[in-house]
Structure 1
Amino acid sequence: MLFEDLYIAGLAACLPPRVSVRHAVAQGWYDAAEAESLEWESVAVAGDRPAPDLAVEAAREALARSGHAAEEMSVLLHASCHHQGPDLWSPQHYILRHTLGGTIPALEIRQGCNGFLAAMELAGNHLAAAPGRTAALITSADNWGDPLIDRWRATPGGLFGDAATAAVLSRRAGFARLVNVCATSLPELEELNRGGEPLFPAGCSTGVRVDLRERAATYQGEQDLVHAGRLMGQTQRDLIARTIEEAGLTPDAITRVAHQFVGDRQVLRRLLEPFGEDAVDRGVFDFGRALGHTGANDQTSGLHHLLTTGGVAPGDHVMLLGAGAGIAFSCAVVEITDVPAWAGTPDGSA
Structure 2
Amino acid sequence: MRFDLPLYLSAPATVLGERLQTAAEAVAEGLISEYNAERYRYSGLSVSELPPVELAERSAARTLAAAGVAGEQLGRVLHAWTFHQGHEFWCPAHYLADRLGAFKALPVGVQQMCNGGMSAIDQAARDMIVDPKIDSALVTTADCYPPPGFDRWGGDLGIAYGDGATSVLLTRAPQGPSVRLLATASVAASELEAMHRGDAPFTPAPLSGLKTLQPRLAKKEFMTGRPSVDFGETAHSAVTTVVSRSLEDAGLRGDDPRLRAAALPRLAGHVLTGSYQPAFAEVCAAPVVELGGATGHLGAGDPMANLTDLLAAGTLGPGDLVVLLSAGAGFTWTSAVVEVAR
With the length of structure 2 as denominator, give the TM-score of the two structures: 0.92
Matching residue of 2:160: 159
Gap change, CA 1:84 and 1:206, over 3 Å in 2: closer
Is the alpha carbon distance of 1:206 and 1:255 closer, same or farther for their aligned partners in structure 2, counting shifts above 3 Å?
closer
2:328 aligned with 1:327: no
Q: Which amino acid aligns with 2:299?
A: G
Q: Which amino acid aligns with 1:273?
A: A
Q: Is 1:45 aligned to 2:77, yes or no?
A: no
Partner of 1:32: 34
Superposed CA deviations along residues 244-301 of structure 1, whole A, max 9, x for unmatched, are 011101112321112111132222322322256x76xx2232x311110111111111
Distance in structure 1 (CA, Å) of the matches to 2:126 and 2:184: 11
Name the CA distance, whole Å, in 2 between partners of 1:221 and 1:21: 30
Q: What is the rounded CA distance, in whole Å, between the counterparts of 1:21 and 1:324 in structure 2?
A: 24
Q: Tell me the distance in 1 between the aligned counterparts of 2:317 and 2:209.
A: 50
Partner of 1:214: 217
CA distance in 2, matches of 1:99, 1:271: 40
Distance change >3 Å, CA 159–CA 135, structure 1 → 2: same
Structure 1: unaligned runs, 5 residues or longer: 339-350
| Contact 1:155/1:213 (8 A) holds in 2 | yes
Residue 197 of structure 1 is matched in structure 2 by 200
Corresponding letter in the other structure for 1:88 = F
CA distance in 1, matches of 2:241, 2:203: 36
Question: Considering only aligned residues, what root-mean-square deviation do their CA atoms show, in Å?
Answer: 1.9
Q: Which runs of 4+ in 1 moved over 3 A?
A: 220-223
2:242 to 228, 239, 243: 239
Cα distance between partner residues in 2 of 1:145 and 1:71: 33
SS of the equivalent of 1:102 reads coil
Query: Match of 2:317?
Result: 313
CA contact 1:219–1:225 (8 Å) conserved in 2: no
- In structure 1, the partner of 2:94 is 93
Answer whether contact 1:189 1:221 (CA < 8 A) is retained: no
Q: Report the 3-state secondary structure (helix = DSSP H, G, I; strand = E; otherwise coil) of the residue aligned with 1:11.
A: strand
Which of 275, 279, 282 aligns to 1:274? It is 282
Q: How many residues align?
A: 333
Aligned counterpart, 1:54: 55
CA distance in 1, matches of 2:102, 2:306: 28
5+ residue gaps, structure 2, are none
SS at match of 2:267: coil
What corresponds to 1:171 in structure 2?
172
Give SS of 1:218's match: helix
The residue number in structure 2 matching 1:345 is none
Contact 2:83 2:144 in 1 (8 A): yes
Instruction: State the partner residue of 2:292.
Output: 288
Once the two structures are TM-superposed, the CA of residue 100 in structure 1 deviates from its matched residue by 2.9
> In the alignment, is residue 299 of structure 1 matched against residue 303 of structure 2?
yes
Amino acid at match of 1:289: G
- Between 267-276 and 104-113, report the one with greater CA deviation: 267-276
